[in-house]
Structure 1
Amino acid sequence: METFASLAFRKQTTTSLGFYFDFSATYVGVGMICPHIINVSLLIGGILSWGIMWPLIATKKGDWYGTELKSDSFQGLQGYKVFIAIAMILGDGLYNFFKVLTQTLTGLLTKFQARNGNNSLTVTNKPPPLKWYHIIVIYISAPTLAFFNAFGCGLTDWSLASTYGKLAIFTIGAWAGASHGVVLAGLAACGVMMNIVSTASDLMQDFKTGYLTLASPRSMFKAFPDLGLPDSQYPAPFTLVYHNMAKLGVNGFSALPKNCLMLCLVFFGAAIVVNLIRDSLGKNRAWFIPLPMAMSIPFYLGPYFAIDMCVGSLILYIWGRIDKAKADVFGPAVAAGLICGDGIWTLPSSILALAGVKPPICMKFLSSTNNSRVDKFLGS
């Protein structure tokens, strides 16, 4: 379980390259659930980025990007972190999109040719079950019903999303008529209506919980005055990403640091090449080739959670070597226990943080050179 002391440990190490084990039971449990290839890919991505690339690019400060830039500026090192990760995600996503599209079209073509070759097979066209005007009516009426459901959920703590879904089934079903596919039309209308209406009730529950607990967004800034800063305990990374991307959209790619676009293209192509290698090797031999999508995540967020998740995989592997039957049966239960236990600790941890209580013990691992400096300072 992540101790209160480890929170301070995490805060002190955010200014380093990010290689540390923060004793998070949640990530260890998630690592026991996720396939080993995901965890290993995260670790490889973290080593490649924070262990090799970012230290090398940091030595180019003053040449590739200005020395006066802030740590969260997209014109500096932050730009390399975010856009190279995005390039890998796009490369992996586009490859798999066209892969699935190609396989789908090939399968449809094969079936179409088989049907044309079999004259005894008769193909009957059913009319489309859900017309375009049915969709328009659903989306026009859904916001009003969503308000009704949110209001009722706030009063009674009971969501009637399923009731509004049944209303859509009867309404659209009767409107579509008794032709073939009317059942599908009703079910599709029910799914669309329930998704919209239930979202409104979930949002009302969040507001209601916040009101009953007297919670306020300002409380976060009072308890954590450095909230949102890159080197703080809670850096809020996506806030910085969207804020800087909005500024970047005004100036275009010319605002990116030197060689950033070239590196993005390189990693975009590398993601495609890695996927091609995985598919060419087949399922039996592709297990040791990392996944580009998973590798891209620690490029920006850091590899600290990857180490935790690999520890989870290691625990499950050793357990499986000792007793595979019990590991397969009880592994998910142990992982769930680690995640739940760490989540329960969040409440007392938040109370201690709001009260301004500092951890009594902090742990930090240093290189031998820095450790000698610390010993010399303590001895003085």
Structure 2
Amino acid sequence: HRLRLRVFRGAQFPWYITLIGYLAFTVLGCVVVPILFPGTVWYTVLVAYLLCPLFAIPNAYMCGLTDWDMSSTFGKLVIFLFAVWTNSIDANTGIIAGLATCGIVFAGTSQAATLMQDFKTGYITRSSPMAMFIAQVVGSAAGCCLAPVAFFIFYDAFDVGNPNGPYPAPYGKIYRSMAIIGT
């Protein structure tokens, strides 16, 4: 047990590196997300990034206890909140902004729960948490490049989203309907 604790606590990030990384990605998101999703204003994206830790910490805790990731539930809550808020700013943008901010919170809470599960496994196997975190960052960066490519290959090859096709995408309709209810 002592060896596990020594290995697990041996390589920690300084708190200021964590804070600088979080702030840098928050600023990057506040600039890029409104460009990608017109109608989503920077301060709603900022609030979504600030909500991430408030949802990520209990989600990681619940996931550690039950092995159930509740990220989608927190994301659905955010859809309603931000769809109402952005609809009050501009009546034409509530749906897109609600879905975009849902994606931000969903991704943040999901990554936190996944990383916590990885740390739990790393503690049991005596792995370095620094190495695990770096592997998570590399995997996320690779996913940012590979996931859109895989999506567009799949999207071009098959009839995605057609209700009568082989891939009707029912969750897209559900999430959009929830954003419509919020507006």
Bigger RCO of structures 1 and 2 (CA < 8 A, at least 6 apart): 1
More helix by share: 2
Which TM-score tier does this pair reach, normalised by the shorter chain? Answer: 0.3 to 0.5
* Greater Rg by CA: 1
TM-score by length of 1: 0.23
